[in-house]
Amino acid sequence: MNKKKGAIANQHRLTRAENPVAQPQNRTRRSISSFLSFGALTLILVYAAQKWFAKAEVTHFWTHLISWPLFSWLTRPSWVIAPLVLTIVFPLLIDFPRYPAQVTKHVAAVLWGHPLNWQVWLSRIAAIALLAYLFLISPTLSSLTTASLTWFVPSDSGALADAIVVLGRGETANGQRYEAAAQLWQDQRASQIFVTSQENFIHTAELLQQRQIPTQILSGTNCVMTTYDEAVLTAAILGPQGVEHIILVTDPPHMLRSLLTFKGMGFSVTPHTTPLPAAMSSAERSLLALREYPGLLSYALLGRLNQQSSNLKQPPAKTLQDIERRKCQLPKIE
């Protein structure tokens, strides 16, 4: 029996040796087959992810329970660096040599991995993560990532518009956007100001009152959770009022995604960027910019950057019903 198996194996080897041309062809076929299978699997996963993230509740879950809490943790270097340093050092202290003559061998094992045990791998991964984090929060990367996002944003042309739309960012990152909106109105660039959250609405109203600007020009919405929400609700509220051309006010990292999203709603948009607060750390600036890249990719996959509506004056009935049910539209201040 063993002789028979050996003879069959020898015959297969002779066949392959006699036909060397067939071997590269077989390898090419296998490579093509593997590539096609991987491509098909990738397309299926992308399509499934697109359908899954298209649900509003999933998007809001990701934004509020994962994205912003993760951002808040990463913008505190002490919260990140200390655990990573402990992860680097603690595994190496396990089985640390008691005698000085063995310290050199232990250090060599850490640097070159002889042997590559779990302590060495864990310390190496933590060290790489620490170096990567320090690079991500550096002022250099902050400037580069922000600059690359603003390359594709046109400058404010000074054109007149129907409304000034001010997007919210959070109390610590609002910067000068409300002051800029008040100044744009005083320059007679538009007849009204629209803000996209209740907190920002109150802040803007106080600012207008301080500048002796009539608060009747102010309106807004308080139901936004994402940039897409801001565009949808702004279009549903301002569109029926005949607003087609807007001046969009937000910070440089956020402007590109906002500009493309509002254009997708059918608005003609003049971007007006305002700087982030001077007190904001380089870690916050860098991570705000880095957060926009996956945001742009996800919006592109979800089709949120494409044309959503051809008629601003007739928003979807479902959106109008949702605005009324949730009381999203903030009334003008008399």
Residue 197 or residue 163, greater confidence: 163
Tell me if 130 sits within 8 A of 124, measured CB to CB.
Answer: no
3-state secondary structure of 245: strand
What is the percentage of the chain residues whose pLDDT exceeds 70? Answer: 69
Mean pLDDT of 301-305: 85
Q: Binning pLDDT at 50, 70 and 90, where does residue 57 land?
A: very low
pLDDT value at position 99? 53
Mean pLDDT of 209-213: 88
Identify the CATH class of 157-277+305-330.
alpha beta
Cα–Cα distance measured from residue 193 to residue 106, given in angstroms and rounded to the nearest whole number: 66
Query: Is residue 315 over pLDDT 80?
Result: yes
Could you give the count of Cα atoms lying within 13 Å of 299 in the half-sphere of its Cβ? 24
pLDDT value at position 168? 84
Residue 270 or residue 284, greater confidence: 270
Amino acid identity of residue 203, one-letter, is H
Cα–Cα distance measured from residue 174 to residue 288, given in angstroms and rounded to the nearest whole number: 12
Q: Where are the domains of the chain?
A: 76-136, 157-277+305-330
Lowest mean pLDDT among 138-142, 149-153, 185-189: 138-142
Match 């920002």 to its residue by tokens. Answer: 200
pLDDT value at position 4? 53
Q: What angle do CA 176, 179, 182 make, to 5 degrees?
A: 150
Q: What is the mean pLDDT of the chain?
A: 79
* Rg of the chain over all Cα atoms, to the nearest angstrom: 29
Query: Is residue 58 over pLDDT 50?
Result: no
Q: Read off the DSSP letter of residue 330.
A: E
Q: Binning pLDDT at 50, 70 and 90, where does residue 189 land?
A: very high
Q: Binning pLDDT at 50, 70 and 90, where does residue 173 land?
A: low
Strand pairing of 268-273 and 329-330?
A: unpaired
For residue 66, give both structure tokens.
């994962």
Cα–Cα distance measured from residue 209 to residue 327, given in angstroms and rounded to the nearest whole number: 25
Lowest mean pLDDT among 118-132, 150-164, 219-233, 263-277: 118-132
Task: Please give the full DSSP string across 7-69, using - where no structure is assigned.
Answer: HHHHHHHHHHHH-TTHHHHHHHHHHHHHHHHHHHHHHHHHHHHHHHHTSHHHHHHIIIIIIHH
Query: Is residue 32 over pLDDT 70?
Result: no
Cα–Cα distance measured from residue 238 to residue 251, given in angstroms and rounded to the nearest whole number: 22
Query: Is residue 44 over pLDDT 90?
Result: no
Mean pLDDT of 83-96: 75
Query: Is residue 97 over pLDDT 60?
Result: no
Query: Is residue 249 over pLDDT 70?
Result: yes
What is the percentage of the chain residues whose pLDDT exceeds 90? Answer: 28
For residue 13, give both structure tokens.
């080897």
Mean pLDDT of 246-265: 94
Mean pLDDT of 250-264: 94
Tell me if 282 sits within 8 A of 138, measured CB to CB.
Answer: yes
pLDDT tens digits, one per residue of 154-168: 999 999 999 999 998
- Rounded alpha-carbon distances, angstroms, from residue 155 to 57, 150, 244, 248, 275: 35, 9, 19, 12, 14
For residue 107, give both structure tokens.
């250090």
Residue among 243, 257, 260 at smallest CA distance from 315: 243
The answer to whether the bond into 115 is cis (omega within 30° of 0) is yes
pLDDT tens digits, one per residue of 104-128: 665 666 566 554 567 777 878 888 8
Q: What angle do CA 214, 217, 218 make, to 5 degrees?
A: 105
**3-state helix/strand/coil string of 76-122:** CHHHHHHHHHHHHHHHHHCCCCCCHHHHHHHHHHHHHCCCCCHHHHH
Q: What angle do CA 92, 96, 98 make, to 5 degrees?
A: 165
Match 């005949």 to its residue by tokens. Answer: 242
Residue 47 or residue 312, greater confidence: 312
